[in-house]
Amino acid sequence: MPAIDYDPVTHIGKLLTEAAGTNLLLNSAALSTQSVTVTAVAHTLSFFGTGTITLSGVSTAGPLVGTGANKSRGAYLHLTAGSLTLTVSGTVSNAQLELASSATTIASSVIPTLGATVTRAADGGKITALLSSIPSYSATAGTLYVDWEPIFAPGSLSVMPVQFG
């Protein structure tokens, strides 16, 4: 379900949507040391906490040190295919390893996992109000104005379907 961002100064609400994503890590709420099979593409690793994740195998970036219980720490990794081992020490929570489309890709919102990877579907938005309830609505002529900003990563498909009828 998409989130709503509200600006208290301008009184404008924004519907925040994310593309589909998969968290490749297991037991993400309280991450422990594990190995993950990855493909030779870019990934984003993110987590909360004050602990440390040391990478080995197909990446030796890091170590990544958490900056606080309520602060996210992230890294962009260009991996080769194979096994990535994440050695965890200290407190690491809400950990996530997901595909990234570019070095500017930021981590998506947390996708919790237990004993298996989890894929989140793409968010979508829908206005369910009847157009006839809008003042000055005409079924034969008029303009529907929609102001929106896609926040998907570059190269992702962002579509806003509009249905009339």
Q: Are residues 92 and 125 in the same domain?
A: no
What angle (nearest 5°) sits at the alpha carbon of residue 91, between those of residues 89 and 97?
Answer: 80
Residues 6 or more apart in contact with residue 39 via CB below 8 angstroms: 79, 81
Q: What is the mean pLDDT of residues 101-112?
A: 76
Helix boundaries (H) for 8-154: none
Q: Are residues 159 and 129 in the same domain?
A: yes
Q: Are residues 53 and 99 in the same domain?
A: yes
Distance between CA 149 and CA 7 in Å, rounded? 15
Number of domains in the chain: 2
Q: Are residues 47 and 26 in the same domain?
A: yes
C-alpha neighbours within 13 Å on the C-beta side of residue 93: 10
Q: Are residues 125 and 84 in the same domain?
A: no
Lowest mean pLDDT among 25-29, 47-51, 90-94, 106-110: 106-110
Question: Is the pLDDT at 124 greater than 80, yes or no?
Answer: no
Q: Are residues 81 and 33 in the same domain?
A: yes
As given in the structure block, the two tokens for residue 39 are 């493909």
Q: Are residues 77 and 131 in the same domain?
A: no
- For the chain, the average pLDDT equals 79
Domain range for residue 101?
21-120
Q: Are residues 98 and 52 in the same domain?
A: yes
Q: Are residues 86 and 115 in the same domain?
A: yes
Regarding pTM above 0.85, the answer is: no
SS (H, E, C) 3-50: EEEEECCCCEEEEECCCCEEECCCCHHHCCCEEEEECCCEEEEEEEEC
Q: Are residues 49 and 88 in the same domain?
A: yes
Question: Is the pLDDT at 126 greater than 90, yes or no?
Answer: no
CB-neighbour burial class of residue 13 (10 A; exposed 0-12, middle 13-18, buried 19+): exposed
Distance between CA 37 and CA 157 in Å, rounded? 27
